[in-house]
A and B are shown apart, each in its own frame.
Chain A
Amino acid sequence: MTMQADNLNGKRRKDKPLEGVRVVDFTWVRAGPWAARWLATLGAEVIKVEWPENMDMLRQNRFTVPPGVEPGPNSTGQFADTNAGKLGLSINVRHPKGLDAIKSLISVSDVVIENFSSRIMSRWGLGYEELKNLRPDIVYVSMAGFGQTGRQHYFGTMGPAAQALSGLTHLSGLPGEQPAGWGWSYLDDTGGMYGAMCALTALKHRNNTGQGQHVDLSQMITGITLTGSAFLDKSVNGRESRREGYPPGNRTVWPGAPVLNNYRGPIAAPHNAYRTLGGGYNDWCVIACLSDDEWTTLVGVLGSPDWAKDAKFSALEGRLANQDEMDKGIEEWTSTLAKYSLADVCQAAGVRAMPVQSSEDRVENDPQLRHRGMFTKVNHAMLGDWKFQGAPFRLDGNKVAVKGPPPMIGEHTSSIMGDLLGMSNAELLEGYDEGVFWPETTPKFPYVEQAIEEAKNDVN
């Protein structure tokens, strides 16, 4: 009997919304694992499929091994957060026995998710067309850079290249300079969210109809859908993207450029980043006034200096035309205050202001994230008590939080094969001997040795 049938018979527990949903997670690096991480956070049983000879790049990320922790594939902080709450299966799907075992697993699962280059899974005999014969209502999400269809489906992307191709990079930066772009793989974060969204949407469709389906997601195209009204400004108005004063940095309109549009929201001034007391690398704040009234309030907060009372600043048009002078005046004031007090002073008066927060600020100094319990400590075998990022949504009827630590590579192979699929200890040991569950030439971690020992003891 499948998990879903159990659910329909009312055996489902209600702690977490996706309790009882099983996900076979073939993804690696960031976007795919981040997608499956959200399915785990919502309660799904996510089984991460790996092979030690072709290790997930985040397991090799030397920048996030804490000092004093023995380096290795189970020791990186970024892998940990990206894969929290999953189970670990090591299996060689290019070995006939491995392929059989993974097919058995998929036949008792609800979702398959993968982010290889397009059509790799089909080459391994694990494409949608093959798998739907095993499990007709399987939800199968593919997350390739350019998608599975279209003439350039084989083009590869990582976050920054996908961002460049999607138009997102060109939206960001100072006019007359090369694009600043995005200082991280935004489309790995967002591509990941989309992967989760696709799986959840297709599960909803399965609830409606009993049908599974293949969802063909493109990371690069995801980016195009996130350029706001820039697309329509071109397709409808024919506006050229390469133009004077664009992109306008943190402003809504660059001084001297026509007041036509701003793809992030309403046109406003002031609307900029300003230095704050200390002058350190991240001692900056942002201030935005969306109306003349908000400007008047800000002038009061500034202490009504003479320059700010000048009538040329009283209406939006004048503030846009004189932004340099206005921003200079504002910055003289912001430079005298620490960024958090500045935001508090402004917000208390009704002025929109926020500190620019670094990673350290968000973990250590952000009173809101602290109040909301954004970081949860979970014990991790290598990292000790480790802070994991929580969910930005609270469901009052379901517990939604980090489900547990990430798996060590291959940590749950024997329990998945034995307890779940009913493989005998003898078969399991044979698989280890033949390089199905661990590469013959790769040294085994103690927990792998231990699982083998336990199987041997049971056989004896």
Chain B
Amino acid sequence: MAVYKKTYRPYEGGLTPSWSRFFVVTRYAFEDLRRSRFLSIFYLTTFIYPLICALIIYVQHNASVLNLFGAQGTNRLISINVVFFMSLLGWQSMLALFLAAFIGPGQVSPDLANNALALYLARPFSRTEYVLGKMTVLLGLLSIMTWIPGLLLFGLESYLEGWSWATDHMQFATAMFIGAWIWILILSLLALALSAWVKWKPAAGGLMFGVFFVAAGFGATINAVQRTTWGHLFNISYLIGSVWVRLFEGANPTTNGAIFFRAPQGEVLPIWCSWASLIGLCLICLYMLRRKIRGTEVVR
């Protein structure tokens, strides 16, 4: 119907499958994020480290390139081992924290501040789908900068080193995939939960860093005052680092974690404590989202 007719008419066309509707939220959120030039530039810079890693792997396997620069033997300086991949994961995960703190608070808080949730949820669209739709934005962006480059680098190394290397070191790939997903999930849930509770975007972003750094400081204070190591339970980077070490190296680790995610020597907590704390954190975030993501706020 032409718009000039200006009459109401019912809709009689087909509908999209209901399972796919959460992608609507994701798509619109992506479109909004794409408009930010700062974000685009920052996001592009997050690929510098993986590119350097790719270059290192390439140079490692091309003696002719090293000879060209008169640097024979330097391929022994950097080895492609657990430290290499864990460092990649550590760097990228730290950048992921910055990205999540930057874009996470803008996901839910504007909808809450403008009472838009009632409009979303008055449609055949559930709270879970809303959270999933918003979370997919973070999951997608953070995946592209963490485990996807990690696996691509693993593939490149396998291709250049030989597939027997791949089978021998398959644990690196699985550890990177699972380890990155744990981190991404925690970041996404935390960003959305804080965004749901703190309607002012800068405050929500600041709080995100607060949860990581202030809580770690609090844990360190407990350790110092009580002469214990249990204060590390408040240190998310410690918890995630210890989980990564277990994923990469099993029960007999040779390292104490990745860059930014290290457990101090001799201060190791049982691994189940780390898992339990991280699961607890996720559950708290889900509870916070459950409390806030509602069609209408009830004043009891």
Is chain B a partner of chain A in the same complex? no
